[in-house]
Structure 1
Amino acid sequence: MVKWFWQRDAPRRTLTLRARGDDGGAMRVDFAELAPELNRFLGQAAYLQLGYFETLTRLIRATPELDEKAAITRAAGAALSKHRGIVDVIRDLGEDSTDLMLPFREHLDAFRRKTIGARPRETLLAVYITAGMLDDFYLALASSYGETGRRIADILREDDDTEEIVEILKRTIESDDEWRSLLSMWARRLVGDTVLVARQALRSERLAEEEDRVEPVYTELMGAHARRMDAMGLAA
């Protein structure tokens, strides 16, 4: 019987992802053998932010309430700002951002389609959950790339302007037990697909033999995910 990482016995060691804005005190896992080549890392990171922006922009059109439109617009703007920041890094390296993103368009678009819910609230939750988990993961990966990685980490730590989105989701959850149950189940469905995207970002030829090295990161991702869920009043 196959066990997912969250079903296994507690890992022998733990890793603490840095809180955004915190530059000290965090233990690091050495990703040197697992981190993808720099251009692959940058291309995926840039395209993920562009995808968040696109999904949030579509949600603006699907949202009738003006205050909610404004909140989603701010979150979309934050995703676009991160995308542009990563693109600037790519250009400073003398690379073309479109060339670097193109290889990942198909599979990341497929992932995004899977996370679009039947209702706007589900999609809003999906962006919040998946962007949070993957930003954390890419922030951990960034330590493998020296000064370029530090620049990307600074970009990923920028404010994502999701506080108002959390409030929108909390109001929805508190208004109706059916919504609470639906969104809780939907969030749990998102986790597997999101972790798969994270795994695909690593060097697959070394992943099996280095599983113990990566597992603490997955554990921390799940811990951060649980805290996001708790903040909204949902069970992880």
Structure 2
Amino acid sequence: MNNRTNEGVQPGPDGAETSSAAADPDRVQNPRYARFIADLLGVIAYGELSGFERLSSDARFSPTLADRAGIGRLAVQEFAHFELVSSHLAARGIDVEQAMAPFVASVDAFHERTRPADWFESLMKAYVIDAMSGDFYRALADRLDTETRGLIGRIDADDDTALLGRLLKEALADDPRLASRLALWGRRLVGEALTQAQRIGIEREFLGGLLFADTADPAAHTTALFAQLTRNHSRRMSALGLTA
């Protein structure tokens, strides 16, 4: 993860910044909030572990040794993020395997539905998913306790998308015919990713049921969050010269 910008962190639909969980010490001790953090870190941990596996596998298709080394470094970085989250969970007395377990089937199904056909689609998938994940976690950060927000910041400090974006731009410059295929692939990826995020959010009460429960209109905040994720994706695709 990911693209270091502030575009994923936005005010709520009423124009006011969302309140920080860190400003409410009682919330950190709240059982519902504790479960939310376990779920959030569980899905992040499995996402990072899956990212490590995906990038490790995709690296072998790199057209040059330099690209293979670059993708390999990203894979190592993903595993380092997994270990960071594991340590954070352990400090809270939570087993990482148990925290990840509720999300394994859905995340694996997502990756099965979005299996890349070649190197270029692999690059696009890594780029889209890493960037959107970063946007999502940053959008939640203001509502997290200080320690968890700091963890998200440490993960977000590693800019994975710069290399991926550069490789995509080079590929598109070398073969402009890729543009229409990758644009279509990008649209499919973002649609699948948003559907998956909404499903998990509903099943585990990530969003309106818990995270935005103390706002005047939880549903509006949830809708605004996903609209912002879509706009951010569109801007990134435009920067690549693609139609979102």
Fold equivalence (TM over 0.5): yes
Letter in 2 for 1:210: P
Q: 1:232 to 1:47 in 2, by over 3 A?
A: same
Query: Structure 1 CA distance, aligned partners of 2:44 and 2:163?
Result: 24
Query: Is 1:41–1:201's contact at 8 Å kept on the other side of the alignment?
Result: no
Picking from 238, 241, 244, the partner of 1:233 is 241
Q: 1:20 to 1:118 in 2, by over 3 A?
A: closer
Letter in 2 for 1:229: M
How do residues 142-153 of structure 1 correspond to structure 2 at under 5 angstroms?
142-153=141-152
Q: 1:31 to 1:121 in 2, by over 3 A?
A: farther
- 2:167 counterpart of 1:168: yes
Number of residue-to-residue matches in the alignment? 215
Query: Is 1:133–1:221's contact at 8 Å kept on the other side of the alignment?
Result: yes
Structure 1 residues 38-92: Cα deviation after superposition (integer angstroms, max 9, x where no partner): 2111100111111111111101122241011012112222222222211111111
TM-score, scaled to structure 2: 0.78
Alignment gaps of 5+ in structure 2: 12-16, 22-31, 210-216
Aligned-pair Cα RMSD in Å: 2.6
- What is the match of residue 48 of structure 1? 47
Letter in 1 for 2:225: V
Match of 2:145, SS state, is helix
Query: Is 1:46–1:101's contact at 8 Å kept on the other side of the alignment?
Result: yes
Q: 1:138 to 1:26 in 2, by over 3 A?
A: closer
Query: Is 1:139–1:156's contact at 8 Å kept on the other side of the alignment?
Result: no
* Distance apart, 1:26 and its partner CA: 5.4
Query: Is 1:43–1:104's contact at 8 Å kept on the other side of the alignment?
Result: yes
TM-score, scaled to structure 1: 0.81
* Distance apart, 1:203 and its partner CA: 4.0
Letter in 2 for 1:40: D
Query: Structure 2 CA distance, aligned partners of 1:201 and 1:143?
Result: 20
Alignment gaps of 5+ in structure 1: 1-18
Picking from 214, 223, 227, the partner of 1:219 is 227
Query: Is 2:48–2:81's contact at 8 Å kept on the other side of the alignment?
Result: yes
Structure 1 residues 187-217: Cα deviation after superposition (integer angstroms, max 9, x where no partner): 0111111111221332456859832121221
Q: 1:31 to 1:134 in 2, by over 3 A?
A: farther
Query: Structure 2 CA distance, aligned partners of 1:200 and 1:135?
Result: 18
Q: 1:98 to 1:109 in 2, by over 3 A?
A: same
Match of 1:117, SS state, is coil
Match of 1:190, SS state, is helix
- What is the match of residue 83 of structure 2? 84
Query: Structure 2 CA distance, aligned partners of 1:97 and 1:117?
Result: 28
* Distance apart, 1:159 and its partner CA: 1.5
- What is the match of residue 28 of structure 2? none
Q: 1:156 to 1:224 in 2, by over 3 A?
A: farther
Structure 1 residues 114-141: Cα deviation after superposition (integer angstroms, max 9, x where no partner): 2221112101111110121122112222
- 2:204 counterpart of 1:196: no
Query: Structure 2 CA distance, aligned partners of 1:200 and 1:114?
Result: 15
Task: Say which is worse superposed, 40-49 or 130-139, in terms of deviation.
Answer: 130-139
